[in-house]
Amino acid sequence: MNVILFNFINLIFAQSADNAAKETAEQTKQIITEITTWKISQGLIVVAISYITIKVVDKLVIWLSEQAAKEWRLRIKQFLPFARMMVLTITIVFLMNLFLNLSRDNLVAVTGTVAVALGFAFKDYASSIIAGIIGLFEAPYRVGDRVQIEDFYGEVRSYGLRGIRLQTPEDNIITIPHNKIWTNAVSNANMGELEAQVITEFYFAHEIDTDLITKILYRVAYTSKYTYLKLPILVVVEEKNWGTLFKLKSYPLDARDEFIYKTDLTKRAKRVFSKYNLPYPRLINMEDG
């Protein structure tokens, strides 16, 4: 008896699902037949206006950020993803209303069909978009941040719907999809602030006078025109099998000057080192024993 009842219920659900599928297909067909050349033209015009608007907003926000005071630069740039998202949302809603009329029946008919089709075809793309929306609120990276994702390090130049564009120290532009945050660690050097710690390394032989080197490195950091003196300066010493490693940890006034700052510290420190004839590590030729 239970088996018969179970089969009867399954039959009813199967018929209901079949009827719903047929009804959805008919409604979708009706919507498609209502798409005219004029509607397509309107849609293309709206897409073009949206594209131009995004480009204008990008240039305007970046221009304003460069004109504003230094401490406001990154905060203004961080408005860019929200402005883009707003333009895209308005465009998508308008296009849906244009082609689907946004009625309850139309939404039910098309949403299921489109969701299944796009779910398989663009699952990675959809994953990136969802990650990008979540990233707006969790903020693992923002425009102007200096981040490392996998083997790529650089400054976040733009925050798009699908991913970010990273400018590397070699001046290459790397596009990284947002869905990398699901599986990869994101190292952020400044988290929306202007300052990011810079580590400059110096190598010497074991017999070096560590107190002298430490004093020189502190002096070099404190006298650099790029150093942000309100943040701590630290010298860390590590013994290696080949010699002694000194790490000078300090902060530039602007994270943008990271490599200029490191170059300035290295050049000025080496000038002082040369006066003391300090011994550097010697490379060991393993073939000679």
Taking only the tens place, the pLDDT of each residue in 200-229 is 999 999 888 999 999 999 999 999 999 999
How would residue 32 be classed by pLDDT, with cut points 50, 70 and 90?
low
How would residue 12 be classed by pLDDT, with cut points 50, 70 and 90?
very low
The mean pLDDT of 130-140, rounded to a whole number, is 82
The mean pLDDT of 270-285, rounded to a whole number, is 82
- Specify the pLDDT at position 224: 93
Distance CA 194, CA 192 (A): 7
Whole-prediction pTM: 0.58
Taking only the tens place, the pLDDT of each residue in 86-129 is 887 788 777 777 766 655 555 555 555 555 555 555 667 777 87
Question: Between 272 and 286, whose confidence is greater?
Answer: 272
Distance CA 174, CA 80 (A): 19
- Specify the pLDDT at position 232: 93
Taking only the tens place, the pLDDT of each residue in 65-83 is 777 766 667 667 777 777 7
- Specify the pLDDT at position 101: 64
Q: Is the pLDDT of residue 265 over 50?
A: yes
CATH 3.30.70.100 placement within the chain: 198-276
Let me know if 121 is exposed, middle or buried by CB neighbors in 10 A (0-12, 13-18, 19+): exposed
Report percent pLDDT > 90 for the chain: 20
Question: Between 260 and 192, whose confidence is greater?
Answer: 260
Report percent pLDDT > 70 for the chain: 74
Distance CA 176, CA 32 (A): 36
CA triplet 265, 271, 275: central angle to 5 degrees? 140
How would residue 261 be classed by pLDDT, with cut points 50, 70 and 90?
very high
Give the residue among 218, 193, 206, 191 at the shortest CA–CA distance from 272: 218
What string of DSSP letters covers the chain?
Answer: -HHHHHHHHHHHHHHHHHHHHHHHHHHHHHHHHT--HHHHHHHHHHHHHHHHHHHHHHHHHHHHHHHS-GGGHHHHHTTHHHHHHHHHHHHHHHHHHHHHTT-HHHHHHHHHHHHHHHHHHTHHHHHHHHHHHHHHHH-SS-TT-EEEETTEEEEEEEE-SSEEEEE-TTS-EEEEETTHHHHS-EEESSTTSS---EEEEEEE-TTS-HHHHHHHHHHHHHH-TTB-TTS--EEEEEE-SSSEEEEEEE-BSSGGGHHHHHHHHHHHHHHHHHHHTPPPP----GGG-
Q: Is the pLDDT of residue 1 over 50?
A: no
Task: Name which CATH class applies to 198-276.
Answer: alpha beta
CA triplet 170, 83, 127: central angle to 5 degrees? 70
Distance CA 234, CA 272 (A): 19
Kindly report the average pLDDT of the chain as a whole number.
Answer: 78
Q: Is the pLDDT of residue 244 over 50?
A: yes
The mean pLDDT of 253-282, rounded to a whole number, is 89
CB neighbour list of residue 147: distance below 8 Å, 6 or more residues apart: 140, 141, 153, 154, 156, 166, 186, 187, 188, 189
Question: Between 267 and 182, whose confidence is greater?
Answer: 267
Question: Between 99 and 29, whose confidence is greater?
Answer: 99
CB neighbour list of residue 187: distance below 8 Å, 6 or more residues apart: 147, 148, 149
The mean pLDDT of 12-31, rounded to a whole number, is 52
Question: Between 189 and 227, whose confidence is greater?
Answer: 227
The mean pLDDT of 163-184, rounded to a whole number, is 87
The mean pLDDT of 148-175, rounded to a whole number, is 87
